[in-house]
Amino acid sequence: MTNNDVLTPTQRQATAVALAGVRADPSSIRVRFPAAARTIARTTADPGDLGRFRAEDQVRLSLLETFAEVTSDQEALVQEIEDLYRYGDGDERRAVLLALSHLPIDDRGIEMVQDALRSNDPRLVVAALGDYGHQHLDPAAWRQGVLKCLFMGVPLDLITGLSSRLDQTLRDMVAAYAQERTAAGRAVPADAQRILDLSTDSTETES
Amino acid sequence: MRIFDPHIHMTARTTDDYQAMRAAGVQAVVEPAFWLGQPRTSVGSLTDYFDALIGWERFRAGQFGIAHHCTIALNPKEANDPRCLPVLDLLPRYLAKDGVVAVGEVGFDSMTAVEEDVFRRQLELAGAHALPALVHTPHRDKVAGTRRTLALVAEVGLDPGMVLVDHLNELTVDLVDDAGAWLGFSIYPDTKMDPARMVAVLQRRGLDRVLVNSAADWGSSDPLATARTAEAMLAAGFDEDQVDRVLWRNPVEFFGQSGRLLLDQLSNATPDAGQTFEGNSLLRGERVS
């Protein structure tokens, strides 16, 4: 979900300057990353559009990729990414989560994904269920994440690989959730119904 | 009337306060990072507090139509606890963020050597990050503390126009005025200024570079002290434009130097208390959809 087209030529130029700065002094990412939206590029369109890959996401991804290029020690790379996440605000954390699948860290970003899924911030939950979460979350955690989206009213379309990971266990969980809603006299969200209607012919329960 | 309270600790205040403030015309605030009643003993509790200032509290204020900004620093009292000192290394990460409009509150509490070292380092950080500095002047030995503050600003080489020296009174106003720094006055029951004395200061020296705040916090204080001062100014013969200058344009001019004010997000839309921040709304109980 990356796209350099979200940046104007001027913003790409400013990004290039920032990337050169990270190459010259990798630790400068600690201030370049949080300042990226203000100093380089910001998508001002509807911040509630959770699925949109924003200009600042692209800049922050480039900063992280460049940092990874100049950091040969994976330990140091993971530590810096974790710190950017820990000391980030909601938008910065989201950008870290979206970048994880582009960084050479194998499964070592999983704790950040798990932290994001513990939050109730839709920005973070959606980003946690993107490409990296799709690749690395264990089935139980992934199913809980999907269920959490239903609770929070987050569109399931934003989850990477929903139909390929959907299994009978998740269908049962969603069915129980729908029953609970019905028993309480509340409407069943359309997304929940959609999961129940999806064919599971090809989806055996993952262990 | 529009009011910008440039110094108020909203984490200690209730939603009733937010409601009353907005009704009185408060549309923007700056919440300086400071000490709490209970001392903190670790870096983690300080960074959690900073996270609340840039996250939850900004969201909470937004629900009442108030733009919330903050300043970030290690305060002078907790600077004396070696367990808190390492937070200085983390400050640059926070000073780069939107909505962080100054380094502060810095300054002196008991005038110790450690306080001075931490104060100096943070004034240097303000210079490095092109941010204004918000300086607390001590409750005890205020005149000496104010003199030392101004000397330190000069030693570090900060432009006095980027420095706000706060909690001034009749005895310290001229020192700061002569140095060319901005003058902050807290209208705070019993221990600081009151509206009548504030008006007298304004009549004597004019409105230039003056900021008036409530400094309301967890103590017995008044989040509407800014509005009370506006009323006292009008009663004393100042006109509405002059009130607007002191209570809106001056703080916007000072903190605007950071380039990080969030006033473009001010909306006149009806606040929606049902919105959520990280899933937590200001309403309690399950939302019925």
What residue ranges do the domains of chain A occupy?
A: 1-105
The pLDDT tens digits for B231-257 are: 999 999 999 999 999 999 999 999 999
A153 near B CB under 8 A? yes
A47 near B CB under 8 A? no
Look at B289 and A187 and tell me if their CB atoms are within 8 Å: yes
**Residue A122 has which token pair?**
């839709």
| Bridge partners, residue B70, by sequence | B31, B100
Look at A120 and B280 and tell me if their CB atoms are within 8 Å: yes
Number of domains chain B contains: 1
Mean pLDDT check: name the lowest of A142-146, A197-201, B232-236.
A197-201
Does residue B276 belong to any structural domain of this protein?
no
Boundaries of domain holding B30: 3-263
Closest Cα in chain A, distance from residue B26 (Å): 25
The pLDDT tens digits for B134-177 are: 999 998 999 999 999 999 999 999 999 999 999 999 999 999 99
| pLDDT value at residue B269 | 42
CA distances from B228 to A47, B239, B244 (A): 37, 15, 14
Amino acid letter, A35: A
Task: Closest CB to B96: pick one of A34, A121, A153.
Answer: A34
Does residue B18 belong to any structural domain of this protein?
yes
Nearest CA in chain B to A153: B289
Q: Does the pLDDT at position A200 exceed 70?
A: no
Q: Which residue has the tokens 């939603």?
A: B15
| pLDDT value at residue B248 | 98
Task: Closest CB to B93: pick one of A31, A122, A153.
Answer: A31
| pLDDT value at residue B280 | 59
Closest Cα in chain A, distance from residue B55 (Å): 7
| pLDDT value at residue B270 | 45
| pLDDT value at residue A5 | 79
User: Nearest to residue B6, comparing CAs of B237, B259, B205, B225?
Assistant: B225
Nearest CA in chain A to B279: A120
Look at A89 and B90 and tell me if their CB atoms are within 8 Å: no
Within 13 Å and on the Cβ side, how many CA atoms surround B270? 3
Alpha-carbon distance A142 to A173, whole Å? 12
Q: How many CB pairs under 8 A join A and B?
A: 47
| pLDDT value at residue B175 | 97
| pLDDT value at residue B258 | 97
Look at A87 and B93 and tell me if their CB atoms are within 8 Å: yes
CATH code, domain with B15: 3.20.20.140
**Residue B70 has which token pair?**
């903050």
Does residue B244 belong to any structural domain of this protein?
yes
CB contacts under 8 A, B 8-27 vs A, are: none
Task: Closest CB to B47: pick one of A30, A87, A122.
Answer: A87
| pLDDT value at residue B240 | 98
Residue B202 or residue A46, greater confidence: B202
Residue B86 or residue A201, greater confidence: B86
Closest Cα in chain B, distance from residue A8 (Å): 22
Q: Which residue has the tokens 């990798």?
A: A26
Alpha-carbon distance A97 to A116, whole Å? 8
B93 CB neighbours in chain A (<8 A) are: 30-31, 34, 83, 87
Closest Cα in chain B, distance from residue A203 (Å): 31
Mean per-residue pLDDT, A75-99: 97
pLDDT band at A120 (very low <50, low <70, confident <90, very high): confident
| pLDDT value at residue A167 | 94
Indicate the Cα dihedral angle B3, B8, B14, B17, nearest 10°. -20
**Residue B274 has which token pair?**
């049902």
Residues in chain B, pLDDT under 70: 265-289
Closest Cα in chain A, distance from residue B20 (Å): 29
**A163: which residues sit within 8 A by CB, 6+ positions away?**
A198
What integer best gives the mean pLDDT of chain A?
Answer: 92
**B204: which residues sit within 8 A by CB, 6+ positions away?**
none
Mean per-residue pLDDT, A51-64: 95
Does residue B283 belong to any structural domain of this protein?
no
